[in-house]
Amino acid sequence: MSYLFTSESVSEGHPDKIADQISDALLDYFLAFDKNSKVAAETLVTTGQVVLAGEINSKTYIDVQQVARDVINDIGYTKGEYRFSGDSCGVVSLIHEQSKEINQGVERESLEEQGAGDQGMMFGYATNETESYMPLALDISHKLMIELAKLRRENDEITYLRPDAKAQVTIEYSDDHKPIRIDTIVISTQHDEFDEDEAMLQKISDDLKNILIPRVRDSYEDKIKSLFNDEIKYHINPTGKFVIGGPHGDSGLTGRKIIVDTYGGKGAHGGGAFSGKDPSKVDRSAAYASRHIAKNMVAAGIADEVLVQVSYAIGVSEPTSIFINTTNKNIEMSDGEIAEKIKKIFDMRPGMIEKRLKLRNPIYRETSAYGHMGKESRKIKKVYKSDYSGEVTHEVDLFTWEELNYVEKLKKTFNI
């Protein structure tokens, strides 16, 4: 019997995502001027206020209040009627230094010996149901939010959009776990005031179905395009009016959208958030490394679906465990045997993950909305200006954990 599976995404203007983007922008600024910075930045946003907290050790000084304001304006909170704007909100910094007891467990004489910044388990996941090796329901949800933000910024075909939004997609799967059709799409978007509520609801529903949905559908290959049919159930702004949104409508916190950030509920999650943490925190770096393993394994044809778990003890460099779980394997080998070979190919010591994936660079603001996984790896130049430290330019590699640079080695190792 077929079954339904659902995932959601949120816009960059969602309160929790505002918090994530501020935390990662702070991280990027510190890494841009001091690559050895230790950062664990937390952000709270609410009506007219931003609170910055956490622990930072760095040789540089950053105007953290201005960084927060710039992020808020970039997202689109620039108008007084939103009750939250980068130019007028209060920004309070409660940031202090990292505990020396934690730092002594991480810092070592060599990169190879660097200890894990905390204990815990991290997961990576990949599936061959989309070209990005991401679960389909989440992939569509992210694309809905990305395109809606583009329409808001274009301010042409749809002129009333505000920054806060959410999407949810339900997919029907066959018994053998193949997508059959899109069952339901839910979209809630913040909007300007309308003169009549009923006309407003109809206008928003028509615009999203006739403008947004075709843009998202046309971004896919034919096999996924065919899943968009006339039988989809739509719930567009199902509560009705959505004028009050963003931090004025709901407070936001760093790290509260960890399922949106990863796999939409597919696979598993170890519980640790990503944003605001430098790569010595294995919550982040080991999750990226695990995704890198899982994606390359699926791309190599080892299995249709791969889940990777890795775990650590604080201050210890070697992982306490590496676990592999495959679905629809294409090789005659147990998951335990596969895991033993994977350990020899991918060095999962924290310092070596940092080196392999080039994580001590200002690459994190780009991860902080629309998912940390499934995006295209690419090189870009980023310029950072500071009244205290001058100006620096970095050419960085984004989303290195999405590179399919181990496929041939895996094929050779597993005789595929």
Q: Are strands 120-127 and 303-312 parallel, antiparallel or unpaired?
A: antiparallel
pLDDT for residue 102 is more than 70: no
CA distances from 114 to 280, 281, 313 (A): 8, 11, 12
- Residue 114 known to bind ligand: no
Is residue 257 annotated as involved in ligand binding?
A: yes
Q: Is 98 annotated as a binding residue?
A: yes
How many whole angstroms separate alpha carbon 181 and alpha carbon 226? 8
274 is in an annotated binding site: no
Asked if 311 and 268 count as a contact pair (C-beta separation under 8 A), the reply is no
Q: Is 16 annotated as a binding residue?
A: yes
pLDDT at 241: 85
Counting Cβ atoms within 10 Å, is residue 218 exposed (0-12), middle (13-18) or buried (19+)?
A: exposed
Q: What does the pLDDT look like over 296-338, one tens digit per residue?
A: 999 999 999 999 999 999 989 999 999 999 999 999 999 999 9
- Residue 173 phi/psi, 5-degree rounding, is -115, 150
Is 378 part of any known ligand binding site?
Answer: no
233 labelled as ligand-binding?
no
323, 339 contact by CB (below 8 A): yes
Residue showing tokens 């709901």: 250
42 annotated to a ligand binding site: yes
How high is the mean pLDDT of the chain?
A: 94
Is residue 166 part of an annotated ligand binding site? yes
Span 253-269, pLDDT tens digits: 999 999 999 999 999 99
pLDDT band at 3 (very low <50, low <70, confident <90, very high): very high
| Residue 230 counted as an annotated binding residue | no
**Does the annotation list 55 as a binding residue?**
yes
- pLDDT higher than threshold 60 for residue 223: yes
195 marked ligand binding residue: no
Tallying the residues shown for the chain, one arrives at 416
pLDDT of residue 298: 98
Tokens for 269?
A: 């999650």
- Is 150 labelled as part of a ligand binding site? no
Nearest-angstrom CA–CA distance, 122 and 137: 22
Could you give the domains of the chain? 3-9+135-244 (3.30.300.10), 120-128+279-413 (3.30.300.10)
52 residue type, one letter: L
96 in a known ligand binding site: no
Query: pLDDT by residue (tens digit) across 43-101?
Result: 999 999 999 999 999 999 999 999 999 999 999 999 888 889 889 999 999 999 866 55
Residues 6 or more apart from 88 whose CB is under 8 A from it?
A: 48, 80
Give the model's pLDDT for residue 100: 58
116: helix, strand or coil: strand
What gap in Å lies between CA 397 and CA 361, rounded to an integer? Answer: 8
Q: In this predicted model, what pLDDT tens digit does every residue of 377-389 receive, in sequence order?
A: 999 999 999 988 8
